Every structure is written in structure tokens, then in C-alpha cells.
């Protein structure tokens, strides 16, 4: 008979050998195994993982493109390179819906990547401290995808080339403001106006996807309410961690599918016409 105590990998609480849940935080003991439990307990691990995925995908774009695109303004990468790294263009998303997720991790220039990653590090760490690593991954994924869904409704099937984590970043902002609104915080209105002014400035200065920003923000606002009123979040931690792993797995799979897509051949035809 096993009489050893069990240590909760989430909060470090010491539990009896027969306990199924931690007495301190309510997390299922051993639900995802000690290794995964320890991984989720590392500080800012979700933010670091999301940044790493974006950077690796951009490095892949640079390799395929043969040069490093600098910014959103200018020639930019070749269409075939964008297609292989998950960008949404033309009617590709209607034929390959996984691009709605792959595009969240794609960026079209080093300045585009740098601006978004700086914002992700700041926002991601703040949200991760509040929600935990697993829920940050779920929030980032859902708002990023819904941002591009909104973009698809706005632009229709023939979308201009678009990619980037900014829809998900606006989702993180929407979450923060959604929580403040659920708390009846008097600063909610002023913060909302600040974010609208920021979005307007970006729209005037840069060729950004405002539809994706709006869609991500609206989705994040709603999820902020849901997370704020979530009952016994500790008891759902194992489910949240499983959902986060699914989200990360689907993100990698969507990028791989884009890289192997037969539609890349169509993008090469457009490249040839442009050249």
C-alpha cells in the first residue's frame, strides 16, 4: 500500500497518499503527470512559449523568403513564403480553415514581429499572473482565431495578405478591460477610451488589420467576464491545462499543414507574375 504523501505540483501543498485533489488549491493530483504539472508551474512559461512559436515561425519565413523583410511597409516577403508560414490571403482561409490559427503565429516583417513580441511579453506576463499559464494560452488562441474570423467577415473571401498576433494581443487587452468592467471599476471607461485611441493611431499610421483587432478585443472582453465569474477555477485547472496543450498542439499542426499546403504552388504563380 502506498503511504507516501503527495506534493501538489501547482501550489506545493502536502497531501495525504489517498487524496485525489489538493486540499489547498483544489487541483487534481497527478492529473497531467508530474512533469507537465511542473512545466505549467514555471513562471511566465506560457508567455515564453507563445513568443518562441512566433519567433521560430518568423525564422522559417526568413529562410524560405531568402531575405529578412523589415516592416509592414514596403515590398514585404514573397507570397509563397507567407503562404508556407500560415498567412491568410486570397481565398486560402476558406479552403484551409486551419490558417485562422496558423496566421496568429505568422509575421510579415521584423518590425512587425518586434512590436508584437514586446507587447506580448508585457501583456502576457500580466495576464499570466492573473489567470495562470494554461488559461493565458487558451485566451490567446481563442481571441487570435476569432480576430481572424472577424477579418474574414470584413474582407470576404479575397483577403489581402494578413497575419500576426495583434488580434490575440487585443484579446488580452479586452480581457483586462472585461475584468475591470465585471468588477464595476470606475477606471474602465477611461482605459477603454485609451485603447480605442491607440487602435485609431495604429490604423492611421500602419496598414494594420483593424477587423482582426476589433474581433480579438470583443472576444477577449467576453472571456474576461467568463474568467472573472468562473466558479472554483482551481478545480478546473486540470481541464484548463489539457485545453492549453490542445491549443499548442493545434498551433504547431496548423503551421506544419500550411508549410505543406498545395496552395503554396498558387502563391508561387503570383510571385512569378509580380517578378
Give the residue numbers annotated as catalytic, written as ranges: 166, 213
Q: Residue 21's beta-bridge partner residues?
A: 28
Q: Residue 7's beta-bridge partner residues?
A: 14
Alpha-carbon gap, residue 186 to 274, rounded angstroms: 53
Alpha-carbon gap, residue 183 to 128, rounded angstroms: 19
Per-residue cell: 152: 474574414
Residue 124: helix, strand or coil by DSSP?
helix
Cα–Cα–Cα angle for 46, 50, 51, rounded to 5 degrees:
115
Nearest residue to 46 (alpha-carbon basis) of 117, 130, 113, 132: 132
- Report residue 195: phi and psi, to 5°: -70, -35
DSSP-derived letter for residue 261 is -
Cβ atoms of 210 and 203 within 8 Å: the answer is: yes
- Report residue 28: phi and psi, to 5°: -65, 135
Per-residue cell: 208: 494594420
DSSP-derived letter for residue 208 is -
Amino acid at each position: 500500500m502506498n503511504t507516501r504523501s503527495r506534493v501538489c505540483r501547482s501550489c506545493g501543498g502536502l497531501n495525504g497518499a489517498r487524496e485525489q485533489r489538493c486540499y489547498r488549491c483544489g487541483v487534481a493530483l497527478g492529473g497531467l503527470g508530474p512533469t507537465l504539472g511542473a512545466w505549467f508551474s514555471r513562471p511566465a512559461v506560457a508567455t515564453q512559449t507563445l513568443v518562441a512559436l512566433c519567433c521560430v515561425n518568423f525564422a522559417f519565413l526568413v529562410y524560405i523568403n531568402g531575405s529578412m523583410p523589415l516592416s509592414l511597409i514596403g515590398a514585404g516577403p514573397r507570397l509563397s513564403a507567407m503562404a508556407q508560414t500560415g498567412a491568410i490571403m486570397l481565398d486560402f482561409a476558406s479552403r484551409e480553415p486551419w490558417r485562422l490559427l496558423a496566421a496568429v503565429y505568422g509575421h510579415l516583417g521584423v518590425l512587425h514581429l518586434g512590436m508584437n513580441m514586446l507587447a506580448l511579453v508585457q501583456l502576457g506576463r500580466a495576464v499570466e499572473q492573473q489567470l495562470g499559464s494554461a488559461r493565458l494560452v487558451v485566451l490567446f488562441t481563442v481571441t487570435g482565431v476569432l480576430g481572424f474570423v472577424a477579418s474574414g467577415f470584413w474582407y470576404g473571401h479575397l483577403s489581402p495578405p494578413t497575419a500576426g498576433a495583434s488580434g490575440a494581443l487585443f484579446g488580452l487587452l479586452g480581457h483586462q478591460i472585461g475584468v475591470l468592467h465585471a468588477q464595476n471599476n470606475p477606471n474602465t471607461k477611461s482605459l477603454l477610451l485609451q485603447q480605442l485611441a491607440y487602435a485609431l493611431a495604429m490604423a492611421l499610421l500602419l496598414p494594420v488589420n483593424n477587423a482582426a483587432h476589433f474581433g480579438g478585443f470583443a472576444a477577449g472582453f467576453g472571456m474576461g467576464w467568463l474568467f472573472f465569474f468562473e466558479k472554483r477555477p482551481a478545480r478546473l485547472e486540470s481541464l484548463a491545462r489539457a485545453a492549453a496543450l490542445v491549443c499548442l498542439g493545434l498551433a504547431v499542426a496548423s503551421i506544419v499543414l500550411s508549410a505543406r499546403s498545395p496552395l503554396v504552388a498558387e502563391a508561387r504563380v503570383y510571385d512569378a507574375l509580380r517578378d
